[in-house]
Structure 1
Amino acid sequence: MAKNPLESKIETYLKNQIKNIEGLCYKFKSTVNGVPDQVVIYKGTIHLVEVKRPGERPRANQVQVHHQIQKQGVPVHTVDTTGAVDAFIKDVLGAEPKIQTKPKEAVISSKKRFKGMG
């Protein structure tokens, strides 16, 4: 089954934002269903992050595995929007999310516009 593009965009945003604050973000592939899909390492802490489509919540088996992990003292977080990613970075990691802006395209004016000036 293909990953929903919206989920992949949030995952990419998470990876980019963690990189921007000089943290590490790795895709985690497990043989156990329900394990969060991202590992975030930042300033001596490790957090597991489940990325979902906007409005989607973890499935029952994911909730069960998340609770087992949390009982071992490892935080598990779920993000489903870019805003949730920013809140995770600010509230949990204690870092300031970096704003990603696309570079502006150069505007080239037509020479005809300036004809007769000069």
Structure 2
Amino acid sequence: MLKSQMRRDLKWLKRQARKDRRITVALLAGVVAFWTRQLPFDEAPGDILRALSFGLVAASALTWLASALLAARTIRTPEEPVAGLRWVSRIQRSKEWAFWSAGAFVAWHVLQFVTALVLG
């Protein structure tokens, strides 16, 4: 009975991981699409705002790359249970990094908006 419950739980985890992987890939594609739509962007006036702006762009790019790397490592579904748990963990971390990348994009957008309100 315990073995069948573990097998059922692992199947559920893999099914959830497949959904998370689709969400991650869609989020990564969306972040790239939004960044290409925004570029080239206006230079922020002032050294501090420019540094914050480029820092957010760099943070978004690095977290996007980390998420894409983790997502690329999960293309094949492993057969053994322990490797399956590592696969699920990689997908969850990839999804987390993708949301960090989207968050950095949103923070950059908010910074641009507030800068335009204050200076314009």
Please give the TM-score of this superposition, normalised by the length of structure 2. 0.30
Greater percentage in strand:
1
Larger radius of gyration: 1
Q: Which has the higher contact order (CA 8 A, sep 6+)?
A: 2
